Structure 1
């Protein structure tokens, strides 16, 4: 463990030393968040959440996402359209994911500061037709979601959906936030964990479509800041680089659907049959106390004792971003709220 911590500290030191092309050293005290990086680069990799250093998706992908949003509709337990039916927004992922999405308290109720807790108290949310279900669980890393036969999917079906009278055919939207435990190879190495995540997340997209045949949309988020980590579970630079893993799998789908061929790492992501349409949800990483362009920061107090899992304030910070995203995105407002539109 001492060796692993020393290695993590050495990697963090190298991570902080990275500067951004075109940025003064005094400004770039470590890498910029991917959404602030733009056409600049990190270790030669261009920033921007979407291709060409942009934070907005290409028009064809945007339009396809709106069309998928408009397909979200109430269905019965067999998946048939029904005025009395429901549709499910499901979380997929690990400990951080479930803590931010639900933070289940004694008695099984989600904490009021979590996404589910906040949504339950928000009159703008469509409580009549939308069911928000936390499928994530502690220790469930990317490799435990990458096959439709993974035990996680039976667990979600039997212990998360069924008790609410819901079925897999009613799941139509997913929020996915996954990572690997104890990563050891960072970019730009050819076997870096970020590249492994591209392969795994591509497989997750296909697995989700197999288990949830009516799935229309998948929104990805990458990890929060890992610079306070005291263990090798997922420190920097790996937490930051999960953002490139998400960026590249979404980019792979965009490229494939534009006729650019199937990405060799991500695999077939055709959203007309093999996978659901995929895009970024909220991008959660900021460089510690260095404010992001929108003001986001991560303080040590936002984390628990291991510096990796979010404390209450950190969980609420992510939940706030999730709620704002789902209420205002042109790809989600029409099904998440009672009066929003998707366009």
Structure 2
């Protein structure tokens, strides 16, 4: 009877929430509202004048800043041969959940610029009113996560910012939106201070909140937070020196701000482009997105960064690199306290270190079908919960299977790879494994995680629908014979081949014939192509475009 009463109560709460949430009266999505007014006073549209497009000067400046997004060395100097472009997220729990799905999706997207390294630096609980303080420890964790994937702060050049206040001091409009805008100014200033080459910050406001009964997460507050981002961008367009991206004299203290995908729609009422938010798009709290909701936002992000004119300038594929994504062929964890048990068929990977439970996850990847030189490699897993800072180990013995591995039969942890910093629950844990991948001759890879004493974490396994993955940025010699990437085939290429001789797939340079090995055939290719001049690779320019 108690169970039945609980079920009836839950059903009543759900129905009350759904009935309450069908509409947000008077709320018209900003991109549909256009020049119309909210509450008779506040104009819609994403940009000034009720337009959904930035003004001509801001659009031109966006193209200028996008032209500065180019592969860079750790020093921050342009480097078209070995450089990377860092792309981060900044925000709260919803942000990290949605960006994690986007990150996995884009790491498998071979139709984008392979030199863009995506890293989820958003974190649960890190709302705008919390991280507007530049001294908050969150910002140290952001830097740690960037370093964990092999990026320097000088290589981070693009960001997605999605934020809201966790504890607004008022729900009155426009006061709460103006408070949020003040927090956002402090946040983008801190982002630019930490990442001096951060050129572009794409922003998004909250998804629909009307299914929640929490007045700090519901409607119309969620809708109205969109005005905070709209006014933030308008302040920059109107030459606010606090948001100077280089157009004005004085210190540069902000990236250029643009709308990313606008995520709000009025519940189940379709907006003009068809977007809706249904109850199934949410977790039971009706605040955080469900897997369906996460996927909806990830698809909007992927579509935006594949088609936005400013994003195309830096995210289009290049002729000299390609992405190769390797999903785990085997993943399982072993438990010290159950030495003969196999946990290879469960939907999660447990990582724990306590007297009661010590669990070690093992991952295996097969990259033997593509041995091209690797410029960068990232290992990533979807987090479910827990907050350890694990250690990552290489496992040389790759003969184990997820169907049979146990603590008693598990291979030894061969060598320490790196300590991995804290990544948020619901987000992505990621680590740079470039040197490790380069050193493996057949590219059959295996790894294991260990947890510090007293800590635990749960990852999603391939049986859970989101397999751990390794994404390889492989080098494509777009000009055969050019072993050193200087766009000419000459004696320097002979020198490069000789210096990298017999390094196999570990050699970042020297593979003049693109067969994945540095050997005598590369000398032959250089001699055949001697004197050739190579066209520059397609993709973001390496120069410094002039101010429009």
TM > 0.5 fold call:
yes
Q: 1:85 aligns with which of 79, 83, 86?
A: 83
Q: Which residue of 1 aligns with 2:63?
A: 66
Match in the other structure for 1:123: 110
Q: Secondary structure at the match of 1:17?
A: coil
Q: What does 1:154-303 align with in structure 2 at a 5 Å threshold? A: 154-158=140-144, 160-183=145-168, 185-189=170-174, 192-256=175-239, 262=240, 268-272=242-246, 273-303=252-282
Quote the Cα distance in structure 2 between the aligned partners of 1:234 and 1:185.
12
In 2, the alpha carbon distance for the partners of 1:101 and 1:310 equals 12
- Change beyond 3 A, Cα 1:121–1:140: same
- TM-score scaled by length of structure 1: 0.82
Q: Which runs of 5+ in 2 are unaligned?
A: 1-12, 247-251, 319-537, 541-548
1:337 is displaced (CA, Å) by 2.4
Secondary structure in 2 aligned to 1:176?
Answer: strand
Structure 1 stretches of at least 4 aligned residues deviating more than 6 Å after TM superposition:
none
SS of aligned partner of 2:309: coil
Superposition deviation, residue 143 in structure 1: 2.5
CA distance in 2, matches of 1:17, 1:278: 30
Q: Which of 1 and 2 has higher RCO (CA within 8 Å, sep 6+)? A: 1
Q: Which of residues 28, 35, 50 in structure 1 aligns to 2:31? A: 35
Q: Note if contact 1:180-1:234 (Cα within 8 Å) is conserved in structure 2.
A: no
Whole-angstrom CA distance in 2 between matches of 1:243 and 1:123:
33
Displacement of 1:184? 5.7
Cα displacement (A) at 1:147: 4.0
| C-alpha deviation, 1:115, in angstroms | 0.5
Q: Shift of residue 59 of structure 1?
A: 0.2
Structure 2: distance between partners of 1:271 and 1:17:
38
1:232 to partner: Cα distance? 4.0
Greater radius of gyration (CA): 2
User: 2:24 touches 2:219 (CA, 8 Å); kept in 1?
Assistant: no
Structure 1 residue aligned with 2:505: none
State which of 17, 24, 46 in structure 2 corresponds to 1:16: 24
- Cα drift, residue 17 of structure 1: 3.5
TM-score by length of 2: 0.52
> Is this contact kept in 1: 2:173–2:224, CA < 8 A?
no
Matched, 1:141 2:127: yes
Stretch deviating more after TM superposition (298-307 or 333-342): 333-342
Q: CA deviation at 1:64?
A: 0.2
Number of corresponding residues:
296
What RMSD over aligned residues (CA atoms) do the two structures have, in Å?
A: 2.0
Q: Give the distance between the partners of 1:142 and 1:314, measured in 2 at CA.
A: 22
Partner in structure 1 of residue 364 of structure 2:
none
How much has 1:234 moved relative to structure 2?
A: 1.4
- Structure 2 counterpart SS, 1:74: coil
Answer whether contact 1:145 1:207 (CA < 8 A) is retained.
Answer: no
* DSSP 3-state at the match of 1:219: strand
Q: Deviations over 1:256-301 (max 9, x none)?
A: 1xxxxx3xxxx71111112111010000000001001000000000
SS of equivalent residue, structure 2 residue 105: helix
Compare the two structures and name the one with the higher strand fraction: 2
Q: 5+ residue gaps in structure 1?
A: 19-30, 103-113, 257-261
Cα displacement string for residues 281-322 of structure 1 (whole angstroms, at most 9, x for unaligned residues):
000000001001000000000000010100000000000000
Contact kept in structure 1, 2:131 and 2:187, CA below 8 Å: yes
Instruction: Name the CA distance, whole Å, in 2 between partners of 1:179 and 1:231.
Output: 14
C-alpha distance in 1, partners of 2:143/2:24? 42
Higher helix share: 1
Deviation string 1:63-102 (CA, Å, 9 cap, x unpaired) is 0001111110111112122220111110000000000000
Quote the residue 1:52 is aligned against: 49
Inter-partner Cα distance in structure 2 for 1:161 and 1:215: 13
